[in-house]
Amino acid sequence: MEVFVQQLINGLTLGSIYGLIAIGYTMVFGIIGMINFAHGDVFMLSAFIALMLFLFVTAWLGIGSIAIALIIVMIGAMLLTSLWGWTLERMAYRPLRGSFRLAPLISAIGVSIFLSNFVQVSQGARNKPIPPMVRDVIVLFERDGYAVALSYKQIIIMLTTAVLLAIFWYVVQKTPLGRAQRACEQDRRMAALVGIDVDRTISLTFVMGASLAAVAGTMYLLYYGVVSFADGFVPGVKAFTAAVLGGIGSLPGAVLGGLIIGLVETLWSAYFSIEYKDVAAFSLLAIVLIFMPSGILGRPEVEKV
């Protein structure tokens, strides 16, 4: 029971991070029907940016307050990663729009290979650790010497996720930008005919996805305190699983899917075998796609004859 509650907390924390990445997948897929294969690596890049900003803020500027440092790091990472997201869309995906269907996917795989190797070449192949930022924990209850703890950083991660989701939910549902996005999702050509700047909307979608990935990257860094150039692929695939599980194209679905994947991963590691935790995630992806391709909150696709 104690182990279960502890894993539940850990799983939800991890799930929040996956959910944030998953939104990037789901929004891009919704609007241009493409799996942005490089999104996992954008997340990894953002974690590196966050790491470097953290070093910059603490060591160079000497800001002692962790809260202020964290906010600066997160906003800085969001801005800088957004610039990457914008540039990648502009250079690797936009020229291919309306072309051969496989082209954007291959291009995205190329971007993914480029990004992970760019970080490897520019920052080195080793793991990059930072000293823990937030150490305090709240012991919820204790039984038989096993303490169920909720750490401050877990609270920060979950709260940040919730707040940012609320903001993005508002943007997508209530603002003209969100309306344009939803219109482009339905019918891009028609949206262009009624005067929506489709290119700009798609660019902004990539920017939003990248900035949420940057939040996820900052949270990942806060949680694990270490990042390496190879950290993009597996979280990327897991977040994609989350997006599919929740129903691709659905924002709440992506978050729900993220939480489920996070829980499955931590509970699997705790009760079955930690070596096979990635196998479990990949198998879940296959099972979901095969048996419920429209996901939990997605719309079923009817075959048109």
Partner 1 sequence: MALNTSHAPAIAAPGAASSVTGAQVATALREAGIAALLTLGLSIPILAFKTEQNQSNALYLQPRWGVVAVVCGLIFLVRFAVCLRAMRRAAAPARLKAPASPFVQKLFGIAVPLFLGVALTYPLLASLATGGLAGARYWIDLGILILTYVMLGWGLNIVVGLAGLLDLGYVAFYAVGAYSYALLSTTFGWSFWLCLPLAGILAAFWGIILGFPVLRLRGDYLAIVTLAFGEIIRLVLINWVELTNGGAGISSIPRVTFFGVPFDSSENGFASLFGISYSPMHRMVFLYYLILVLALVTNVVTIRLRRLPVGRAWEALREDEIACRSLGINTRNTKLTAFAIGAMFGGFAGSFFAVRQGFVSPESFNFLESAIILSIVVLGGMGSQVGVAVAAIIMVGAPELLRNLGFLKQVFGADFDPNEYRLLIFGLAMVAMMVWRPRGLVGHREPSMVLTERKAISGSLVKEGHG
Partner 2 sequence: MRWQEDPILEVQHLKMRFGGLVAVNDLSFSVGRGDITALIGPNGAGKTTVFNCITGFYRPSEGMLSLRHADGTTYLLERLPGHAISWKAKVARTFQNIRLFTGMTVLENLLVARHNPLMIASGFTLLGLFGLPSFREAERQAVEQAKFWLEKINLIDRADDPAGDLPYGAQRRLEIARAMCTDPILLCLDEPAAGLNPRESHELNELLLSIRRDHGTSILLIEHDMSVVMGISDHVVVLDYGTKIADGTPEEVRNDPSVIAAYLGVEDEELDKVEAEVGL
Residues that bind partner 2 (CB under 8 A): 302-303, 305
- Taken as a whole, the chain contains a residue count of 305
Whether 146 contacts 160, CB under 8 Å: no
Q: Does 286 bind partner 1 (CB under 8 A)?
A: yes
Instruction: For residues 10 and 274, give the distance between their C-alpha atoms in angstroms, rounded to a whole number.
Output: 14
Instruction: For residues 250 and 148, give the distance between their C-alpha atoms in angstroms, rounded to a whole number.
Output: 34
Q: For partner 2, give the closer residue by CB, 290 or 302.
A: 302
Among 1, 60, 62, 65, which residue sits at the site for partner 1 (rule: CB under 8 A)? 60
Q: Does 112 bind partner 1 (CB under 8 A)?
A: yes
What is the CB neighbour count within 10 angstroms for residue 210? Answer: 29
Only segment of 11-19, 80-88, 141-149, 205-213 that touches partner 1 (CB under 8 A): 80-88
Q: Is 128 helix (H, G, I), strand (E, B) or coil?
A: strand
Instruction: For residues 252 and 31, give the distance between their C-alpha atoms in angstroms, rounded to a whole number.
Output: 16
Binding mask of the shown chain, residues 203 to 242, with x at each position contacting partner 1 by CB under 8 A: ------------------------------x---x--x--
Q: For partner 2, give the closer residue by CB, 145 or 300.
A: 300
Q: Does 8 bind partner 1 (CB under 8 A)?
A: no
Whether 137 contacts 13, CB under 8 Å: no
Q: Does 119 bind partner 1 (CB under 8 A)?
A: yes
List the Cα angle 22/109/89 in 5-degree steps: 70
In angstroms, the Cα distances linking 170 to 115, 173, 174, 264 are 31, 5, 5, 29
Nearest-approach distance from CB 302 to partner 2, in angstroms? 7
Q: Which residues bind partner 1 (CB under 8 A)?
A: 34-35, 45, 48-49, 51-53, 55-56, 59-60, 80, 83-84, 87, 90-92, 94-96, 99-107, 109-115, 117-124, 126, 128-131, 233, 237, 240, 244, 275-276, 278-279, 282-283, 285-286, 289-290, 293, 303, 305
